[in-house]
Structure 1
């Protein structure tokens, strides 16, 4: 499946690729592709592909050093996307669904009620990290996405970036949150995937 072919997509991809870890960048592109596949399976034909792509692209941008502000990484990424889009003249009506999709992507049940962009970006994330059963049901789409954008130690990379930010700034792991759970289960020097992942 091709990526949307617009100037803002190209510019945003160049920007995000330059600031995030390469594994996070590839994960973001797979999240878009898998979210689109979930929408296709649901019979959705009118999703805003450009907005979904931009949401997926920026959804973990809060892990980048340049966007490591005082708020939770999800909020920092949402704010980064909003600033980027407003610089291109996008108004509130176009920006808000993207902001919500990013800010809520680690929150169960809420994105699904906030419109198609938050719903299918969250679905893309769920497929990336989901149960064996969920991933098996999307096996062909996952294989295609990973052949185009290879996956290598994603969980370890993402958890490391998020935990290190939170250890340096504890307010980034406010309770309750996914980040707080990661920090609570963190054991320095212990390899492998955090049990809270």
Structure 2
């Protein structure tokens, strides 16, 4: 199923009619859909569904447009459309912030988008940020497997996969991030891609803070 088309907004809303709607959300949806391979786009679509559901289950007040845009655009840094010199989360955050600026977002909402995407791979920090940032990370995490899966329940997980099939997600995502570890290792040492590099990429070696501290220019 790896050559299947990514889910459309209409297909998603048929099974998840409670998703928030606005012209901006539709533009963000299409922006990501046009730029992500099918497996990756279906992942970000499911992440949005999970984040919305978690917000409802926990009664978390939040900006629905910020959450939608953040989850839908969070993996642009894994594509050629946001391939800057930094770690992929920051590259993606920069592109997403530029996108919402063009849509008229003010400084605060644009910064929430940036923070949500830049921190989505660091949930231990995102959890203590604004609700939109925390929910974004939680929704994304649920598509990989976190304690929130139990909270969401089997029926929600099954419905999300029916709406946006996984399309060999585990293998395809692993290949995607391993390619980044191979081709841009300097951007992968401080995020989870390091784990893939050390486990699966021959010759990958990350620098260690142990060496940095031991070799620091100090007399003691």
Which of 12, 24, 29 is equivalent to 1:13? 29
Q: Partner residue of 1:33?
A: 49
Matched with 1:81 is 96
Unaligned 5+ residue runs, structure 2?
Answer: 1-15, 203-220
CA contact (8 A) 2:177 2:193 kept: yes
In the other structure, the counterpart of 2:3 is: none
Please list, as runs of the form range in 1=range in 2, the aligned pairs for 1:65-104 lying within 5 A after superposition: 65-104=80-119
Q: Which runs of 5+ in 1 are unaligned?
A: 189-197
Cα contact 2:32–2:41 (8 A) shared by 1: yes
Describe how 1:103-142 pairs up with structure 2 within 5 A. 103-131=118-146, 134-138=148-152, 139-142=154-157
Aligned 8 A contact 1:73 1:162 in 2: no
Q: CA deviation at 1:135?
A: 2.8
* RMSD value, Cα: 1.7
Taking the aligned partners of 1:136 and 1:37, their CA distance within structure 2 comes to 12
> 1:173 is matched with which residue: 185, 188, 200?
188
Contact (CA 8 Å) 1:47, 1:116: kept in 2 or not? yes
Alignment correspondent of 2:167 = 152
Runs of 4+ in 1 over 3 A off after TM superposition: none
The two structures have a TM-score, normalised by structure 1, of 0.87
- Cα distance, 1:137 vs. partner? 4.0
Which residue of structure 2 aligns with residue 194 of structure 1? none
What is the aligned partner in structure 1 of residue 217 from structure 2? none
CA contact (8 A) 1:68 1:165 kept: no
- Provide the TM-score with structure 2 as the length reference: 0.78
Please give the per-residue CA displacement for 1:121-164, whole angstroms capped at 9, x wherever unaligned: 11112211115x65344211111111111112212222222221
The structure whose Rg is larger is: 2
